[in-house]
Amino acid sequence: MTATPHKRLEREQRMYDALREIAKGYQTPAQLRKNSEKQYGLCYEEALEFSYENVQTTAARAIQGMRRPA
């Protein structure tokens, strides 16, 4: 059974939005190193750990309810 064009477009949009957020929405490690203490009150290592967890959450949300393509 194939997805309707509307569902497929919705999935593609969700994937695009997640990839864009991952690519543009998170600070680079260098930016975190420079800004984490001032912006978040966290040392670099903690900020990097939280950032990594956020990337994983963003990706998980994007593929939620999807099956692996055949």
Residue 41 resides in a domain = yes
Residue 19 resides in a domain = no
Residue 18 resides in a domain = no
User: Which ranges constitute the DSSP H helices of the chain?
Assistant: 5-24, 29-40, 44-63
Residue 22 resides in a domain = no
pLDDT digits (tens, 9 = 90+) for 11-55: 899 999 999 999 999 999 999 999 999 999 999 999 999 999 999
Tokens of 69: 């393509």
Domain that holds residue 48: 33-64
Q: How many CB atoms lie within 10 A of CB 16?
A: 11
Residue 13 resides in a domain = no
When divided into structural domains, the chain yields a total of: 1
Residues 6+ apart with CB under 8 A from 16: none
Residue 39 resides in a domain = yes
Q: Which residue do the tokens 């990706």 mark?
A: 59
Residue 53 resides in a domain = yes
Q: Structure pTM? A: 0.80
Cα Rg of the chain, angstroms:
16
